[in-house]
Amino acid sequence: MKLIQINYNSEIEISNSAEKISQLLDQAEKHFIKETSWRNKNYIGNCEFAVLYGKDAIAIKYYVTEDEIKAVYNQPNDPVYLDSCVEFFVSLDQDSYYNFEFNCNGTCLSQVGKNKQNRSFLPLFVIDSIKTTKSIKYIDIKDVHLINWELTVVIPFSAFINHQLDHLDGKELRMNFYKCGDELPQPHYLCWNKVETIEPNFHVPEFFGIGKFI
């Protein structure tokens, strides 16, 4: 099981702009999302993330390079996992976990529940409280055409609507980070902490890693 240390930064707060927070995350340690138990045939891609927290928010920045992207969905709680997608799953107790999923345009799907079958969508006002900023650039590396996209998400503590979260310092939470694209020409399923199931499935809390807030 992997463990990640998540540092406190006083400028990570929901009142600051996502653009400013994105710059802070550029200075933070990067972690790979590359583990898999499943075939990702012919997928060309790389994904890293940085994460920080503050007095009232968690901030994550994803850095993705891949050969194709897709962003069809643009409404809250649309099935963004079918697009070029990055995800953050986190549990604040032993009974449930939250999933925050974003396509490369920043459209968010978010739920809470005990398992994959028993989940409730977070309401629109919660999703609207999450700040995002993105960039998409086209690059060539050794005659290979690639797309580099970055997405910063700032999730306020108030988004965890089934819990009263007033601080994170000193806490250790179970979590995982993912990259997927179910309906891309080359479907793929990648994890930060490896999930060992026969079929691709991110909704397996027993395979979450640990985030230690320091």
The answer to whether 111 touches 121, Cβ cutoff 8 Å, is yes
Amino acid at 111: Q
Place of tokens 């629109």: 124
What three-state secondary structure class fits 127?
A: helix
Residue 140: pLDDT band with limits 50, 70, 90: confident
Helix H or strand E encompassing 52 = strand 45-53
The answer to whether 103 touches 80, Cβ cutoff 8 Å, is yes
Query: Does residue 8 have a pLDDT over 80?
Result: yes
User: Rounded to whole angstroms, how far apart are CA atoms 177 and 192?
Assistant: 5
Question: Which pair of structure tokens corresponds to residue 21?
Answer: 């927070």
Q: What is the pLDDT of residue 40?
A: 86
Q: What is the pLDDT of residue 39?
A: 85
User: Rounded to whole angstroms, how far apart are CA atoms 147 and 44?
Assistant: 11
pTM score above 0.95: yes
| Domains of the chain listed by start with CATH number | 3-213 (2.60.40.1190)
Q: What is the mean pLDDT of the chain?
A: 96
Query: Does residue 141 have a pLDDT over 80?
Result: no
Q: Which of 14-23, 82-91, 133-142 has the lowest mean pLDDT?
A: 133-142
Which residues are registered as beta bridge partners of 48? 32, 63
Q: Phi and psi at residue 12, in whole multiples of 5°?
A: -85, 90
Q: What is the pLDDT of residue 43?
A: 92
